[in-house]
Amino acid sequence: MRRNIRNWGNDILRAAIILLVLFYACWPLRLSGGSMEPTYDNGNVVCVSRLAGFFGGYDRGDVVVFDYKDEDGERQVIKRVIAVEGDRLEIVPEGVMVNGVLLDEPYAMGPTEGVADLVIPPDTVFVLGDHRTESFDSRNMGVIAEKDLKGKVLFRLFPFFG
C-alpha cells in the first residue's frame, strides 16, 4: 500500500514538473488576426517560450507576445522586435532604418508607413507586425516595456508546414 502511494506521489510530481517546463519552455498560443502575415496566419498555433525574459532578453528580429489593453479590453498581441534599447529608429519612404542602416525585411508585406524618428529608451523595444498595412504596433502604441513581454515565439505548432 505504501509503495502504491509513493508511486502515485512520484507520478504527480513528474506531471507537475512536465507542466512547469511546458508553461515556461513551450506554451501554445493560437493567433488571431493577420498582422503577422505572411510569417504567421490567422488561426496558427505557435510555441511561446517564457524563458527569454530570464536568459538574455530579446533581440532584433525576435517575434514576441505581450498583452495590450485598450477600450475593447485586454488581448495578447504578437509582433516582431525591430529595435532594442539604445537603437536609433527611423521610418523613411524606403522602409525602416536602424542605426543608419536600411533593414532588409524579406518577412514584411506592404509598405511601412508612418512617422518615427527616435532612440529606443532603456528596457523597451520597438515592434512592428509583418503585414505592415494591417498591423497596429509601435507606430501607434509606442515602444513596449521589456517587462511587459510575455515570451518569444519559437516555432509554429499547427499547421506545422505553411
Task: Enter the C-alpha cell of residue 158.
Answer: 499547427
Instruction: Output phi, psi for 40, to 5 deg.
Output: -130, 140
Strands 95-98, 88-92: pairing kind: antiparallel
Q: Where are the beta strands (DSSP E) in 1-160?
A: 27-30, 45-49, 63-70, 73-84, 88-92, 95-98, 101-102, 117-119, 124-128, 144-145, 149-158
Catalytic residue IDs: 35, 79
The residue to which cell 510555441 is assigned? 47
Count the neighbouring beta carbons within 10 Å of the beta carbon of residue 92.
12
CB 40 within 8 A of CB 114: no
Under 8 Å between Cβ of 116 and 139 = yes
